[in-house]
Each structure stands twice: as structure tokens, then as C-alpha cells.
Homo-oligomer: A and B are copies of this chain.
Amino acid sequence: MSVIVQKFGGTSLADTDKIKNVARAVVREKKLGNDVIVVVSAMGHTTDNLIKLAHQISEHPSDREMDMLMSTGEQVSIALLTMAIQEMGYSAVSMTGAQVGILTEETHSRARIVDIKTDKLKEHLGEGKIIIVAGFQGITAKGEITTLGRGGSDTSAVAIAAALKVDRCDIYSDVEGIYTTDPRVVPTAQKLKEISYEEMLELARVGANVLHPRSVETAKQFSVPMRLRSSFKLDDLGTLIIGVNEMEIYKPVTGLACDNSQVRVVICDVPDKPGNAGKLFTLLAKYELSVDMIIQSYARSHDNTNDIAFTISKDDLTRFCGFKDEIMKLMNPSNIHIDEDIAKVSIVGAGMIDRPGIASMMFETLARENVNIKMIATSEIKISCLVEKFNANKAVQALCKTFELDGAEAAIVKGTLPD
């Protein structure tokens, strides 16, 4: 008998009718002869409503009390879904993170899981029960309630799947799988049958907001086969996320993503002294500011200065401006320039490793379309180009053509895409 972990997000649980729908999806899996553990998020807008209540009381509520508050959302979901499954005549039991024993660090609002107890889960499975676990939450060794931060429920699901070494972890949401690129931008974008953890991670990092990187990292670390599928189309198998060596087929470029959520910061004319860049990024780290693309120009010979450019999230811009003066004092640049009208276009593919020339194909495509590249960053399986925002869609369309990521052509010409 296989053990399957299923995870359902807030959209799939928005109201009691949707919860009944999820109950049917759970029972369907049970009827196939599997043991089932279900991990759920809070219902629809519950989280937003709880945050609103908190902010009516305090502008900066303490992290501990926010965790106490937010964790109720998932607890409501587990109780209601368990009732719905019991109503269908199946034996089911709900469990909070604390009851399972999802142990986390002593950090509130973004705790990392350190251990998951499996004894109670195994006991309930042994009794033939479907188990409904509250995602997003855990408990510290001292009995404090914690939450796991963004993407927390996905991470709970994968971590439980890893702890129990289950056969599959299905992440249900309102999307039908991973696409070669955003179908809202490129309507002919193709759904992938398979993608590797590494590719999924790069896609997630460059702005494909389908799965949080943390859950994919955990899946990769413990080799948990993860499937992203739609809770509204149960017959559709979605996309399977597995190790690259387990994949049936892959193309040099699997996916393309466009991220509009970054801004570019240029520290202009910094005197070229050793350690200057180090100082800057130590300061950014001190303020817990994540930077993405980084470029330092060659020192200009006429005045021996250079420019340091990097991108940060739009959400962090206000925080960054708070210590701009500190950077001016520290590095003595002529100016700090901030550019919000940019977009980051990235192509991702595990197949890049063995095939040179992918980067030049990307740059040539963009040049042909008169798209100016402002920054470039690469990893083993990813190439990102920063372009002007008004050029982003044009760039995406052209790159899809070049790398055959729009369905029709790919299906006909190469026949390598999933059916």
C-alpha cells in the first residue's frame, strides 16, 4: 500500500462547497487503495482577515502573537475538511502541527522545520484513518507555536512526505501544472509533464510564483517525488517534479520566466579601493536585504572609479532607502541611482549544462528584437537578462519562439513535449 501526501491551498478551500470538493479528491485517492495524509492551508481570505484584525490593534504586532493568531486559520481548515470526509463515511482525524510534532527552530513567523515526529502519524495510518494536518505551523521544543513563513504549507507537506518516505507528494492548487512560461503572457505556453527540482528551483527564484523554493529544496534534498496539479481537474496529472536523472526527456531550455518585482540600484563612481564592494554587501546583509543580480564594472582608468549595480525586491525598496545615507558615507559614490522600470527575463533548463551556445542564442534573439540588455546573470542551468520593462513582453515572445516553448511549434517540429 502506497502512502500519498496531498496538499491543498487556500483557494481550493475558499468555502464549504470547495472543502467538500477537496474531501472528494481525498476520498478518491483513498479509494485507489492508498494511505492518505492531507496538508491544508487556511481557507481563502482567512489569513488576510486575521492580518487586518491584528493591524487594527497594532501597527507592528509581535511575531509570537502573530503566529498564535495566524495558526488558527489552518486549524479551522483541518476541522472542517475532516468533518467533510467523515460525512462521506470515511474515518479521518485532524492534527495541528503541535499534535503531529512538527518541531521547528525557536524563531517566530519564519521558523524552519528541524524534525517531524512520525509515531502518531503511523499510528493513525495503521488504524486506516485519513489524516488531515495543519500546514504552515509547527511547535518549538518549549511548546511555542510557530509559523513557517511564505510557502509554509507546501514545505509542511514535503517535509512530512520526506519524514515518512512516502511515494508521492501532490501539491493541489488552482493552476494545472508548470508551464514553459506564463500562459497569461504566451497563450500557447505548454504544460510540462516533468521538470527537475533544479529547474523548478531556478524558475521559482526568477519569479514563477507557483511553488515556494523552500518546498522544492526540501523535496530535492530528500528525493520526494512532487506533483503540482489542479484541485479542480482531478483527472489531470499536472507536472511531476523529480530528480534530473529520473526524467524521461528534456530539452535544453525547459522554461522561461519574467519577473517584474525587482528594482535596479546603481552605486555610481565608487572609488576603486579593495574591500569597497565587501563593505557594501556586509551592510546590506546587516539589514537583512537580499540582493539578486550583482555587477561591478571595471575601474575606469581616468578617475579610477567603478559602478556597482545590483537588483533588490521592490518590497525592500523603502527599507533600502532608509540606509542610503549610510552607504553614501561608507563608499563615497557620486550618486545612488534607482531604476524601477526594469524586468528580469530568465530561461531555465538542466539541458544547458551539456550544450554551449544557449546564452548566445538568447542574446542574439534579444538583439534582433532591439531589446537592450542592462545586466546579465547566469547559473549552471539558468540565464537571466535584465531588460527595460516596456521590452519585457516582446522579449518573452521572441525567446519562446527561439527555444520552442510555445506549444504548437514545439509539438509539431520537435515532438519532444509531453502530450
Q: Which residues of chain A have a CB within 8 Å of any CB of chain B?
A: 16, 19-20, 50, 53-54, 56-58, 61-62, 64-66, 68-69, 71-72, 75-76, 78-80, 82-84, 86-87, 93-94, 96, 98-99, 143, 145
A–B pairs, 9, beta carbons within 8 Å:
A19-B57, A53-B76, A61-B86, A64-B94, A65-B83, A68-B75, A68-B79, A68-B94, A98-B143
Interchain CA distance A80-B69 in the complex, whole Å: 7
- Whether A86 contacts B69 in the complex (CB less than 8 A), given A16-B53, A99-B143, comes out as no
Question: In chain B, what residue has the closest Cβ to A78?
Answer: B68
State the CA gap A87–B66 with chains docked (Å): 13
Cross-chain contact A57 with B94 (CB below 8 angstroms): no
Given the complex of chains A and B, what is the CA–CA distance between A80 and B65 in angstroms? 8
Residue from B19, B66, B93, B99 within 8 A of A79 (CB atoms):
B66
Contact A57 B143 (CB under 8 A): no
Residues on the B chain within 8 Å of A99, using CB: 143, 145
Residues in chain B near residue A19, CB distance under 8 A? 57
CB-CB under 8 A from A76, the residues of chain B are 50, 53, 69, 72
In contact, B98 and A57 (Cβ under 8 angstroms): no
B98 touches A83 (CB 8 A): no
Question: Considering residues A62, A68, A96, which has the most beta carbons from chain B within 10 angstroms of its beta carbon?
Answer: A68
* A69 with B62, Cβ < 8 A, contacts A16-B57, A53-B16, A56-B16 known: no
A87 contacts B58, C-beta separation under 8 Å: yes
CB-defined contacts of A50 to chain B, threshold 8 Å: 76
- Seed contacts A58-B84, A64-B93; 18 additional CB < 8 Å A-B pairs: A16-B56, A54-B80, A57-B80, A57-B84, A58-B83, A58-B86, A61-B87, A65-B79, A65-B83, A65-B86, A66-B79, A68-B75, A68-B78, A68-B96, A69-B75, A69-B79, A72-B72, A72-B75
Question: How far apart are A110's CB and chain B's nearest CB, in angstroms?
Answer: 17
Contacts of A96 in B (CB 8 A): 68, 145
Which residue, A19, A78, A84, has most C-beta atoms of chain B within 10 A? Answer: A84
